[in-house]
Structure 1
Amino acid sequence: MWRQGVGESVRMEHGRVVVVTGASRGAGRGIALALGASGATVYVTGRTANDGDSGLPGSVNSTAAEVSARGGVGVPVVLDHADDKAVAALFERVGDENDGFLDILVNNALTLPDALTGKGPFWSKPLSLTDLFDVGMRSTYVASHFAAPLLVHRGSGLIVNTSSFGGACYMHGPAYGAGKAAVDKLAHDMAVDFRPHDVAVISLWMGLLLTERTRAAFADHPDAYAGLAANAESPEFVGRV
């Protein structure tokens, strides 16, 4: 558990304490950088420790370093959000280092199987697509569960579940749609439980983002995605909302 008095100077000097899950790259990285620019202490989680460890650019260490370069305090945490014990340890650490407080949790961690955007009906695709229920829907619930005591102790705060309109229409098939609809519903019902503690919970529907993954897709299939790149948002845009 957190130790009373530890981390008070960190909070006073650097402002809000934030956890952004799945922040090696993409929307999570953009959100972390925008929060860092506002002076926040940002715990950056993800499975990729260093640049070059993954087929896509980005890592928790590079994101955390950029958070610090922009005026915040970046704290890299290499973490698999399918591991409940590791997630519990993360929030125990956050409490220990910040006098038991947390201001914001951004639930962004999500498994994106390669087959997700493939053509064909859902039954023609591998069952591994359901992995996005574990790191996505379930990981959102687990992180919120362990963050809750810190937010309640703070007496205010915010949980943001990154989502999309894919929960309300057909997008990438039923597994993706069900996962997004689920995190939307989690936000609604968690907000009811948190209401007496002045903690808000929202689901943030993001548009098309110019992430490392979408850049690669645009480069590999320029004809299929012609015109989309011009309308894509910077991943940092959602961090400024």
Structure 2
Amino acid sequence: MSASISNGPRVAVVTGASRGAGKGIALALGQSGATVYVTGRSLRSSDSPYGGTVSETAALVDEAGGRGVPVAVDHADDDAVAELFARVGREHGRLDILVNNAASVVNTMSPGGFWEQPLEAADVMAVGLRSHYVASFHAAPLLIAGGRGLIVNTGHYGAVSYHLGPAYGAQKAGSDKMAADMAKDLRPHNVAAVSIWMGGLDTERARAHFATLPPEARPTARRESPQFTGRVIAALHASDDRMRLSGRTLIGAELGAHLGVTDIDGSAPLSLRYTLGGPPELHPSLY
């Protein structure tokens, strides 16, 4: 693995980073010394029952050794997304890493079929799938300008197993295929695109949900920290395997093991390939 990155500190955009996975990824990239544009809609902790704001995450990036830049962005607003990347272009002239993590996820774990759940569950195919495309569209010229780019769509085993209903599964599967197809177009420009499946994360939302369960029903297995995926992303961007792995859907725990990345407590997260499924094979036309 090569750790040499040209043009100074890396420049990254992490969408949906007020809390949860995005917050952890931004923090980990900050620990690698990156300048991280932190996007999200939350400007006040009261904006979400789980707390967190773009400014709080950006401040943590600063404390970690990077530079956090908070940007309030609704990823359903194409003009706001275009302005975000125009700002990155004005301030840096390039982008090294885009992490597409923003998603409008409605909890559909209540009893009943998808037709009995809020129709808003389908919004994840707008902010969560279409929004990934829009962000990548605007980011691509900056990634190409940087000469060594990486797009990561945060994924999950829900692409091949049942989690949170059909809309969530369609979003995750679509995000995987989007990364594969973008990788095909970007390969001549030394820009990689992958989807990384995260395991069960120790997020604010997860902790709040487990707190509502009776003690005997609460999971006891260790969960991945939100920072783990960010550590993996930083290592992948630096790795000589970056372009070889481009286009693939990768299980974060397996990619971490390959790159020698551990979680914040020194542990190695476990792959759930043999319990929840593994990524499908790509057609040769995508290589």
Same fold (TM over 0.5): yes
Contact kept? 1:210, 1:233, Cα under 8 Å: yes
SS at match of 1:227: coil
Contact kept? 1:14, 1:73, Cα under 8 Å: no
Alignment of 1:175-214 (within 5 A): 175-214=167-206
Contact kept? 1:25, 1:59, Cα under 8 Å: yes
Q: TM-score, normalised by structure 2?
A: 0.76
Alignment partner for residue 95 of structure 2, among 91, 96, 102?
Answer: 102
SS at match of 1:81: coil
Q: How many residue pairs were aligned? A: 228
CA offsets per residue over residues 200-220 of structure 1, 9 Å max, x none? Answer: 000000000010000000111
Contact kept? 1:51, 1:57, Cα under 8 Å: yes
Alignment of 1:125-204 (within 5 A): 125-204=117-196
Unaligned runs of 5+ in 2: 233-287
Contact kept? 2:105, 2:168, Cα under 8 Å: no
- Does 2:225 correspond to 1:231? no
Over the aligned positions, Cα root-mean-square deviation in angstroms equals 1.6
Once the two structures are TM-superposed, the CA of residue 122 in structure 1 deviates from its matched residue by 0.9
Q: 1:50 to 1:14 in 2, by over 3 A?
A: farther
Q: TM-score, normalised by structure 1?
A: 0.91
Q: Distance in 1 between matches of 2:214 and 2:68?
A: 35
Q: Distance in 1 between matches of 2:8 and 2:71?
A: 19
Question: % of aligned pairs identical?
Answer: 59
Tell me what 2:51 maps to. 57
Q: Distance in 2 between matches of 1:225 and 1:216?
A: 14
Once the two structures are TM-superposed, the CA of residue 63 in structure 1 deviates from its matched residue by 0.2
SS at match of 1:209: coil
Q: Distance in 1 between matches of 2:61 and 2:209?
A: 27
Q: Distance in 2 between matches of 1:208 and 1:24?
A: 19
- Does 2:101 correspond to 1:111? no
CA offsets per residue over residues 54-83 of structure 1, 9 Å max, x none? Answer: 221211000000100111000000110000
Instruction: Identify the range of structure 1 (199-208 vs 54-63) with the bigger mean alpha-carbon deviation.
Output: 54-63
Instruction: Identify the range of structure 1 (129-138 vs 44-53) with the bigger mean alpha-carbon deviation.
Output: 44-53
Tell me what 1:67 maps to. 61
SS at match of 2:135: helix
Amino acid in the other structure paired with 1:106: V
